[in-house]
Amino acid sequence: MNVPMTPPIRLDAISKCYRIFQNPQDRVKQALVDRFQGVLGRKNASPLYREHWALRDVSFELQAGEAVGILGRNGAGKSTLLQIIAGTLEPTAGTVQTKGRITALLELGSGFNPEFTGRENVILNAQILGLSREDALSRFDDIAAFADIGDFIDQPVKTYSSGMMMRLAFAVQTAVDPMVLIIDEALSVGDMFFQAKCMNRINKLLDSGVALLFVSHDIGVVRQICKRAILFEAGKIRSVGGTHSVTDAYTKLVLEGYNALASAQKIHGDDGLNYGTVGITEKSKNIQPNFDQTGTNTSLMIGYEDFEKISAFNRTGNFDAKILNVQVLKCGSPAIHFDFDDEVVIKVIIHFLKDLENLNLGIQFRTPIGTNVCFFDTRLQGEFGRRYEGGQTYVFSWGLNLRLQHGNYLLSCGMSHPPIGDGCDWRFVDVVSAAYQFSVAPRSGGMIDGFFAPKAKLLITAVEPALL
């Protein structure tokens, strides 16, 4: 049993260079030039393309039964790597050695033809992966049962929701006895129950010796599945090792990215900051020294660009005061991935254009489908009647523990004047329905089976039968 075997995947110094052409025709022209340059005696004609190195000198091995997480920001080369391993792309340099059948869920619906029905796609897909038609037909019932999409199996795949597509693709890819399974950002589409079902099957496959390459931005899931992880940055391997250290490195990388953005804004303060119709650029430059309450090198404007981007979609109010930025800080720096019970500080930075009184600031956590999970506001904290000065910028900070179920959350916040008397109504100053996104990883000591786990005291005592 313990004979050393050749690993299912061995990559040796893989590089991939994309030639970026203005249009597809130039590619053929270039090919002709490359071929006949010598014949014509004309050399060093300037190339018709730009080079883009998506991967440089990447080497690693994947062992049987091993699950490896692939992390990296967008454009780090993850997808290119997976395509090379799956065999749909040729590396520019280096060698790929693979053993056995490799199946891949690259984005959605890997290899489905949208015009074909689910049934036809299942059979064709299985055949593409190397099964005979008879073999494919005999496994169809199992595949359909796992995907569990009902009558849709006989509808064209183009009518499927992304969730159904993923179900069917996952069912096929895992049912054809792969040696290596590649999953790229796909599982997040399914509902919780199906995700659990997938996890179950993934674990079974891993136990039976299948190797898994798992790409996700969801650090929680990566930590749950993979023991080892690889972090890519700009086409190179930045770190390899245990999942926890690599995911931490990834988080750090993402935050550094934000920081770089923020410092770039500081340098180009005048043109970088655009507050629309409200002209408060001058004031906002002075925010940092006045209100930096926590860390040494954090800025209240970190993440400002993201905030502007996501808040722009749905924002209402009279804008007598404007929310400049919202941050959720962990250990003093803004973060988007949290563990259960993390101590966080939520900061809302608001610039007031007028003197305002009777003001309430509320915050909500919502799930992606819109369930309000949590709510708190300034009144709950006993904060009434404060007078805010026009022209001044304030930071509202809440300290709390994130005792939330794992998953993705949207933070929304809004400033408004509560009704003063009967017949009066709320008046909204600035309501941002999407202000910040964050995720909470599954609790390591056991899942939270509800949205929220309040802090509670537990007392267990034995009761005398006589008292009953």
| Distance in Å, CB of 161 to other proteins, minimum | 17
CB 18 within 8 Å of CB 79: no
| Distance in Å, CB of 376 to other proteins, minimum | 45
Query: Judged by CB under 8 A, does residue 181 bind other proteins?
Result: no
Residue 25 or 318 with smaller CB distance to other proteins: 25
Position 155, amino acid: Q
Burial 59-78 (b: 16+ CB within 10 A, else e): ebebebebbbbbbbeeebbb
Residue 76 or 123 with smaller CB distance to other proteins: 123
Binding residue for other proteins (CB under 8 A) from 5, 6, 22, 25?
25
Please give the backbone phi and psi of residue 404, each rounded to the nearest 5 degrees, phi first: -115, 155
Binding residue for other proteins (CB under 8 A) from 86, 180, 287, 344?
86
Query: Judged by CB under 8 A, does residue 152 bind other proteins?
Result: no
Query: Judged by CB under 8 A, does residue 48 bind other proteins?
Result: no
Query: Judged by CB under 8 A, does residue 133 bind other proteins?
Result: yes
CB 148 within 8 Å of CB 157: no
Query: Judged by CB under 8 A, does residue 290 bind other proteins?
Result: no
| Distance in Å, CB of 102 to other proteins, minimum | 8
Binding residue for other proteins (CB under 8 A) from 107, 218, 248, 341?
107
CB 167 within 8 Å of CB 190: yes
Query: Judged by CB under 8 A, does residue 123 bind other proteins?
Result: yes
Count the neighbouring beta carbons within 10 Å of the beta carbon of residue 171: 23
DSSP string over 141-182 = HHHHHHH--GGGGGSBGGGS-HHHHHHHHHHHHHHS--SEEE
| Distance in Å, CB of 88 to other proteins, minimum | 5
Closest CA to 318 of 292, 352, 294: 352
Residue 83 or 299 with smaller CB distance to other proteins: 83
Query: Judged by CB under 8 A, does residue 127 bind other proteins?
Result: yes
Query: Judged by CB under 8 A, does residue 115 bind other proteins?
Result: yes
- Own/partner pairs, 95-98, CB within 8 angstroms, 24+ separation: 95/11, 95/12, 95/13, 95/14, 96/9, 96/10, 96/11, 96/12, 96/14, 97/6, 97/9, 97/10, 97/11, 97/12, 98/8, 98/9, 98/10, 98/179, 98/180
- Own/partner pairs, 127-132, CB within 8 angstroms, 24+ separation: 129/101, 129/103, 129/172, 129/173, 129/176, 129/178, 130/101, 130/176, 131/176
CB 206 within 8 Å of CB 65: yes
User: Which one of the spans 82-90, 211-219, 422-430, 435-443 is the region binding other proteins (CB under 8 A)?
Assistant: 82-90
328: left (phi over 0), alpha (psi -120 to 50) or beta: beta
| Distance in Å, CB of 153 to other proteins, minimum | 16
Query: Judged by CB under 8 A, does residue 72 bind other proteins?
Result: no
Cα-based angle 67, 132, 83 (whole degrees, multiple of 5)? 40
Query: Judged by CB under 8 A, does residue 448 bind other proteins?
Result: no
User: Which one of the spans 25-33, 55-63, 246-254, 312-320 is the region binding other proteins (CB under 8 A)?
Assistant: 25-33
Query: Judged by CB under 8 A, does residue 24 bind other proteins?
Result: yes
Binding mask 182-201 for other proteins (x = CB under 8 A): --------------------
Query: Judged by CB under 8 A, does residue 402 bind other proteins?
Result: no
Residue 125 or 298 with smaller CB distance to other proteins: 125
Enumerate residues 6+ apart whose C-beta is below 8 A from 384.
Answer: 358
Please give the backbone phi and psi of residue 80, each rounded to the nearest 5 degrees, phi first: -60, -45
Query: Judged by CB under 8 A, does residue 104 bind other proteins?
Result: yes
Query: Judged by CB under 8 A, does residue 331 bind other proteins?
Result: no
| Distance in Å, CB of 175 to other proteins, minimum | 15
| Distance in Å, CB of 105 to other proteins, minimum | 9
| Distance in Å, CB of 434 to other proteins, minimum | 32
Query: Judged by CB under 8 A, does residue 298 bind other proteins?
Result: no
User: Which one of the spans 106-114, 242-250, 359-367, 422-430 is the region binding other proteins (CB under 8 A)?
Assistant: 106-114
341 is written with which tokens?
Answer: 């019970």
Query: Judged by CB under 8 A, does residue 399 bind other proteins?
Result: no
Residues of this chain that bind other proteins (CB under 8 A) = 18-19, 24-25, 27-28, 31, 83, 86-90, 102, 104, 106-107, 109-116, 120, 123-125, 127-129, 132-133
